[in-house]
Amino acid sequence: MPEVAGDDEGGSVLSIIGKILDIFYPRRCAICDKVLPVNEKYLCQGCEKLLKYTGEEYCLRCGRPVDDRQEYCPSCQGKEVSFCSGRSLFLYDTVLKESIIRFKYHGRQEYAAFYAKEMYQAFKKWIRQICPDALIPVPIHKARYRKRGYNQAEVLARELGKCSDIPVLTEYLVRGKNTLPQKELSERERLQNLNGAFYVRKMTQELYKNLNCVIIIDDIYTTGSTVEACARVLREEGIRKVYFLCISTGRGL
């Protein structure tokens, strides 16, 4: 029957294209970066066991793992923040560190599909309860964007948007100041460094004036100063509820 034959043909053409792409751009394991066997899409089997998760005991504010029955991690206790709460999926250990460095600085944008799939699977219920209007990736400065060619948080947010069917706003929040890399600074210096770094693009203000609830997307949650700086700007814009989702975080300090 011609229709069936046509369908088969379409399918096989796609799978041939897929196979050709696999030869020129082989899929790599998001953890060890080795080329994957054809039947694996994201990780090699050995690497699955290396992943460590933040787990079920987490700070109700920042999502970092806490000791039994503590509601908040020590660094969130008694602290006022602009966001409601947030979650991160993996513990930031050497395994995740290497993966995220390649994702962020060495062009491995493809890892985003793996991170997003895992994050969505783990936090689907949480996301549905929040019911956000949009996902907002933490922006990078345009000079850094030009140099790197992409913003890892934006790539991740797009993948999360595909999984969850939630719109992703990439032109709304902007990083106006090319800040120093945060990792070399203390928490106090981080906040100063980020002071005035983000703003909402004027021409998008009217278009998105009805935003009520959003999730900020980033790769790593460290001291929380980046998320806080973004959340503060979004709250000033009138967004009532701001949450965040990150790939990875360390233990509560």
List of residues contacting Zn ion (CB under 5 A): 29, 31-32, 44, 47, 59, 61-62, 73, 76
Nearer to Zn ion by Cβ, of 109 and 223: the residue is 223
Type and span of the H or E element at 76: none
Note whether 218 and 89 are within 8 A (CB).
no
Identify which of residues 31 and 112 has a Cβ nearer to Zn ion in the complex: 31
Q: What are phi and psi of 28, to 5 degrees?
A: -120, 150
144 by Cβ neighbours in 10 Å (0-12 / 13-18 / 19+) ranks as middle
Calculate the dihedral angle through the C-alpha atoms of 153, 100, 242, 64, rounding to the nearest 10 degrees. 180
Buried b (16+ CB within 10 A) or exposed e, 54-87: beeebbebbbbbbeeebebbebbeeeebbbbbbb
Which phi and psi (to 5°) does residue 235 adopt? -65, -40
Closest CB 40 distance from Zn ion, rounded Å: 9
- Cβ proximity to Zn ion: between 54 and 109 the closer is 54
Give least dist CB 98 to Zn ion, A.
Answer: 11
Q: Which is nearer to Zn ion, 89 or 140 (CB)?
A: 89
Q: How far is the CB of 140 from Zn ion (least distance, A)?
A: 25
CB of 29 to Zn ion, least distance (A): 3
Q: What is the DSSP string of 109-146?
A: TTHHHHHHHHHHHHHHHHHHHH--SEEEEPP--HHHHH
Pick between residue 113 and residue 200 the one whose CB is nearest to Zn ion: 113
Nearest to 193 by CA among 229, 151, 140, 153: 229
- We find the least distance from the C-beta atom of residue 94 to Zn ion, in angstroms, to be 14
Q: Which is nearer to Zn ion, 29 or 230 (CB)?
A: 29
Shortest spacing between CB 107 and Zn ion, in angstroms = 18
